[in-house]
Structure 1
Amino acid sequence: MRNGFTLEEQNTSALLYEQQAPALLAYFYRQTSSWDDAEDLLVEVFLAVLEYERFKDFSERDQERWLWKVAHHKVADHFRRFKRQGNLPLHMEIVEAVIEDTALTPEKCLLRQETYADLYAAIRTLPRVQQDVLELRFAHELSIGQIAAVLEKKEGAIRMLLFRTLKHLRALSEIREVHR
Structure 2
Amino acid sequence: MDPSKRTVSAESMQEEWKEIQAAQREVSLFRPLYNRYYEPIFRFIFRRTADEDLTADLCSQVFLKAMQRIGSYTFQGVPFSAWLYRIASNEIAQHFRATKKNRVVSIEDEGFADIMEEMDEEDNEALRQLLIDKLDELKDTDLQLIELRFFEHRPFKEIAEILDMTESNAKVKTYRILERLKKRLS
Given the two structures, how large is their TM-score scaled by the length of structure 1? 0.70
Distance of 2:106 and 2:79 partners within structure 1: 27
Structure 2 residue 74 is matched with structure 1 residue 58? yes
Residue among 20, 24, 36 paired with 2:37: 20
> CA 1:18–1:117 in 2, change beyond 3 Å: closer, same or farther?
same
Aligned-residue Cα RMSD (Å) equals 2.8
Distance of 1:51 and 1:7 partners within structure 2: 12
User: 1:52 aligns to what SS in structure 2?
Assistant: helix
Paired residue for 2:60? 43
- The gaps in structure 2 that reach 5 residues or longer are 1-22, 113-122
Structure 2 residue 162 is matched with structure 1 residue 162? no
User: 2:124 aligns to what SS in structure 1?
Assistant: helix
Which string of whole-angstrom CA distances, capped at 9 and with x for unpartnered residues, describes residues 125-158 of structure 1? 3332221101111222222122212222211111
Q: Larger C-alpha radius of gyration, 1 or 2?
A: 1
Paired residue for 1:117? 129
Residue among 45, 68, 72 paired with 2:85: 68
Residue among 142, 145, 152 paired with 1:140: 152
- The gaps in structure 1 that reach 5 residues or longer are 98-110, 176-180
Which amino acid letter does the alignment assign opposite residue 74 of structure 2?
F
Paired residue for 1:103? none
Deviation (angstroms), 1:46: 0.9
Kept after mapping to 2: 8 A contact 1:23/1:140: no
Distance of 2:24 and 2:104 partners within structure 1: 42
Deviating above 6 A after TM superposition, structure 1's stretches of 4 or more consecutive aligned residues are: 5-8
